[in-house]
Amino acid sequence: MLKAQAHELAKRFGVPIGASGAPQDLLIVGMGKLGGRELNVSSDIDLVFLYDEDGETRPTAIYPDARRSLTIQEFYERLARRLIPALNDIEGPGFVFRVDMRLRPNGDSGPIVCSSDMLETYLYTQGRDWERFAWLKGRVINTPVFSDGETFSRQVNNVMSLVKPFVFRKYLDFGAITSLTKLHEMIRAETTRREIARKGSYVNVKLGRGGIREIEFLTQTLQVIRGGRDSSLRGRETLLMLDALAKEGAISSEVANKLKESYVFLRDVEHAIQYVNDEQTQRLSRHGENLPNVAGLLGIQEEKLWERLEQVNDFVSKTFDSIFQTEKAENKGDWPLGWETGTSTAASALVEKLTSFRVSGRSR
């Protein structure tokens, strides 16, 4: 698809040639689950479109009839406007993938295609802590169209050499780790609030307490902490990185193996949930709804499924809390559940919380 669309554009506008005189290819970076080769049944794909050098299109021996020149950015913006609908739009039997472009520099307000210079400026002047985790998984997923293999590899290396020091700092940034942990705590609390609002009628196997996200967050945080000095911890796949972390002594082999088993189980449950109605969801009902079908797909009784799920959630959450020291904060000093959104049950608890600050002098 990429090659066919690029060749069609090259017939009209020529080949993108950079300042060095070398053909410049589009670099499609797969982020998240795509970058880590961990897609689920109903995943969307997070993409970032890049190119290495600025320049313009020129006629070549293969495309001699090109009559109009474009900048490389203009050329690849046109290509992006062809590629995204081809993957994302529903036609005939369906679509290929849902495409999400919001992880690109400046998100929805940024250009759909960026040069390596633009990426570098963004990462080191505006890049946020959570984007270090996003780019940890980043992987160029396409092959060359206009350049040879050696030139293409050089372009990929140029781009990824900008990303590596952004993700993996030589010296540990404790402030970043703290802010990311707080962000996760907010997500966990909001997910719990929603589950409680539904009277515990379902659990979210991805975002809930002891879910998929906590294993991934734990793994990636330890990678970010240690990866600046240890290249073996710069991988993208969760299971392989748990092994690597155990080998380097960041976690015990016993914990790593149990986390791997838990991750595989939770991902299997996630796949089964999404197979039931082909929906992009991670909610498993406690009774009825999708529970019988999910249990059937996994070949396990409903009661046994919930028993296993609760055991896994308990182990993962306790492991997470022990590493990030969140349990004490949640039990003794956390904000009342639902205070951000003003739930009715949070009002009196919030008054009590604020009063405790005044009494203890923490408001000063």
- Assess whether 110 and 258 both reside in one domain: no
Given pLDDT bands bounded at 50, 70 and 90, which one contains residue 360? low
Mean pLDDT of 340-358: 51
- Assess whether 246 and 269 both reside in one domain: yes
Q: Which helix (H) or strand (E) holds 98?
A: strand 98-100
> Which CATH number goes with the domain that contains 221?
1.20.120.330
| Host domain of residue 280 | 174-344
- Assess whether 163 and 178 both reside in one domain: no
- Assess whether 221 and 334 both reside in one domain: yes
> Which CATH number goes with the domain that contains 80?
3.30.460.10
CA distances from 275 to 153, 262, 271, 272, 281 (A): 38, 20, 6, 5, 10
- Assess whether 296 and 159 both reside in one domain: no
Q: Which residue has the tokens 């308990």?
A: 314
Cα separation of 251 and 353, whole Å? Answer: 35
- Assess whether 178 and 322 both reside in one domain: yes
Q: What are phi and psi of 125, to 5 degrees?
A: -120, -30
**Short-list 23, 55, 14, 26, CA closest to 151:** 23
Task: Fill in the DSSP letter of residue 16.
Answer: E
Nearest 5 degrees, angle CA 360-CA 362-CA 363?
120
- Assess whether 105 and 141 both reside in one domain: yes
- Assess whether 134 and 227 both reside in one domain: no
- Assess whether 233 and 293 both reside in one domain: yes
Structure-block tokens of residue 84: 């995204």
Structure-block tokens of residue 34: 């795509």
Mean pLDDT of 93-101: 87
In a domain, 123, yes or no: yes
pLDDT in tens, 133-181: 999 999 999 999 999 999 999 999 999 999 999 999 887 666 667 767 7
Give the count of domains, the chain: 2
- Assess whether 229 and 149 both reside in one domain: no
Q: Mean of the per-residue pLDDT values for the chain?
A: 86
Answer yes or no: are the C-beta atoms of 203 and 284 closer than 8 Å: yes
- Assess whether 64 and 156 both reside in one domain: yes
What's the pLDDT at 327? 52
